[in-house]
Amino acid sequence: MTLLSLPIGITWVLGTVLAMLDGRRPLVGWLSVAGLGASFVSVIVLSVTVVQNGPLEMVAGGWPEGVGIQLRADVLGVTFALVSSAVIFFALVYEVMGGVRSRTFPAFVLFVNTGLMGIFLTGDIFNFYVFFEISMVAAYVLTGYRERDYQVRAAFIFAIVNLIGSVIFLVAVGGLYHLTGSLDMQIVAERITQAELAPTVSIAAAILVAFGLKLGLFPFHYWLPAVYVGSHASVVAILSGALANIGGYGLLRFGGDILPEVLALGAPVIIILGTASIIYGALQAVSRRSPAEVMAYSAIGQVGYILIALGIGGPIGFAAAVLYAVVNSLNKLLLFLAIGLRGPLVGVAFAIGAFSVAGVPPAPGFLGKLALFRTGLEMESLANSIALVTLIFLGGALSFLYSFQVYQRVYMKPDQTPPAPPMQTDPFSAGGPNKPSPLAVRGMVVVLAALVVAVGVWPEPLLVLSDGAAAVLAGGAGGAP
C-alpha cells in the first residue's frame, strides 16, 4: 500500500529539501532529475500493479475507513499520472542539460509533479482541490521563469485567470458537499443520483468552466496564447503537456465517473464547444507566423477532440478521450521542446511531432485520430457520424497545413541560416541567435522523438491503459478494470 503514496511522497519531500538549495548548481539539478525519475518508476510499478490486480486503495495517515482521506489508484488515474510524470521528467532533463538559471526551478518542477500525482491518485474531492492548488501555485511561479518582462506578464495573466477557475472549482466542491454530505468520490457518485437536477446541473456547469479554463477550451482560451508564447520552452512543455491534463482528467473523472447523468444531458453543449475549439484553434494557427504562436493555437484546437470524444461517451468515446489526451501530451512535449532549439537534428524531431499532430502513421497521433473515427462511426444517427468524421478530417488537414508551414519557415531554408524566431531564439547558447544548441539537449529531443514514434509503432500498452480507463468510467465509480 505504500506504493500508492510513493509517487506523491518522493517529489514532495525532495522538493522541500531542494527549495533550500541553489537549483542552478548542476548537482542539485541532477538530484531533482533522480528524484523525479524515482517517482516516475514508482508510477510505472503502480500502473502495472493496477492493470493486473485492479484498483488500489489506502487511507492516508492510518485513520479508520470513512474518517481519513482516501487515496485511490484506478486505471484512469494511473494513465494520466504516467503520462504527466513522463512529460515533467523530460522537460526537467531538458532544462538541467541546458543549464537552470533560477535557484528555485527544480524544486517547483518537483512540486508540480507532487500536485499532479496527488490529483490523479486521490479518491476525495476536497483533496483533489488541495493538490490542484499545489500544482497550480508551483506553475504560476514556473511561468515567470527567466523573468523577462513578457514572462512576468504571462505569469500574472496565468495566475489571475486560473485563480478564478480554482475558486469556481472550490465552489463546485462545496456544492457537491452540500448536496451529498460526503467528500469521497464513490459516495458522492452514489448519492448524487438522488439529488435534485437543478443544483446538480449548476455544479456541473461550474466544473466544466473550471476545467475548461485549465484546458484552454474555446470560450475560455483567451489567456492561453499569451502564456504559451511568452514562457520558456520547458515550462510551456510542462504547462501544455502535464498541467493541461488536470482539465482532461477532471472532466473525465467528474463527468464520466461522478456525474454521468449530467454528462449525458450536457453532451450537445460539450460537443459544440469541442467543435468550436477545433475550428477556431486550427484557423488561428494557420494564420499565425511564429512557431510558438502556431503551437499555442494548435493546443486550443487539439483539446477540442478530447471534448468531442468525452461528449459522445460510452466505452469507445471515453477510451478515445483518454487516448487522445495522452497522445496530445506527448505531441505537445516534443513540439514545444523542439521549437526552442536550433541546429541539426532538431528539425527531424519537430517533423515527427508535426506528423503526430496531423495524425500520420506511424506517429502516435494516428492512434488518437483512429480512435476518434471509430467513435464517430459508432454514433447512432448517420448524419451526426458524417458530420463528426468530416470535422475530424478537416481538423487533421488543417493541422497538417499549419505544422508544415512552421516546418517550412523554420527549417527548410537552404540558402540561409534559419531566421531568429521571435522568442528568445536559443535559450541555452550565449552566442548569436543562430548558434546551434548544446548537443546533449538536441540529442535528448531526438531520443524523445524516437520514444514518441515507439509509442506509435507499439501501441498495445497505451491501448490497454485507455480501454481500462474507459472501463472504469463506464462501469460506474471505481469499477473493475
How far is residue 314's CA from residue 473's CA, in Å, rounded to a whole number? 9
Alpha-carbon distance of 129 to 253, in angstroms, equals 13
State the minimum distance, in angstroms, from the CB of residue 62 to other proteins: 17
Bridge partners, residue 58, by sequence: 71
Judged by beta carbon, residue 22 or residue 190, the one nearer other proteins is 22
Instruction: Report the alpha-carbon angle 129-132-137, nearest 5.
Output: 125
Give me the least distance between CB of 204 and other proteins, in Å please: 17
**Site residues (CB under 8 A) for other proteins?**
22, 24, 101-103, 126, 129-130, 133, 137, 140-141, 144, 146-150, 152-153, 155-156, 159-160, 163-164, 167, 170-171, 173-174, 177-178, 183, 226, 229-230, 289-290, 293, 419-424, 433
Q: Among residues 175 and 212, whose Cβ is nearest to other proteins?
A: 175
Residue 156 has, within 13 A of its CA and on its CB side, a CA count of 7
CB-side neighbour CA atoms (13 Å) of 367: 29
Q: Cα separation of 401 and 162, whole Å?
A: 31
The minimum distance between CB 353 and other proteins, in angstroms, equals: 21
User: What DSSP character marks residue 21?
Assistant: S
Q: How far is the CB of 267 from other proteins (least distance, A)?
A: 28
Q: How far is the CB of 387 from other proteins (least distance, A)?
A: 35
Listed in sequence order, the residues at least 6 apart from 64 whose beta carbon sits closer than 8 Å to its beta carbon are: none
- State in angstroms the smallest separation of the CB of 411 from other proteins: 16
* Cell numbers given for 97: 542539460
**Closest to other proteins by CB, 129 or 350:** 129
The nearer residue to other proteins, 146 or 374, going by C-beta atoms, is 146
Task: Using alpha carbons, select from 129, 130, 88 the residue that is nearest to residue 107.
Answer: 88
Q: Output the nine-digit C-alpha cell for 88.
A: 515533467
Q: CB nearer to other proteins: give 152 or 451.
A: 152
Q: How many other C-beta atoms are found inside a 10 Å radius of the C-beta of residue 480?
A: 12
Rounded to whole angstroms, how far apart are CA atoms 418 and 414? 9
**CB nearer other proteins, residue 150 or residue 404:** 150
Least CB distance to other proteins at residue 412 (A): 17
Residue 479: φ, ψ to 5°? -65, 170
| Residue number, 165 or 260, with CB nearest to other proteins | 165
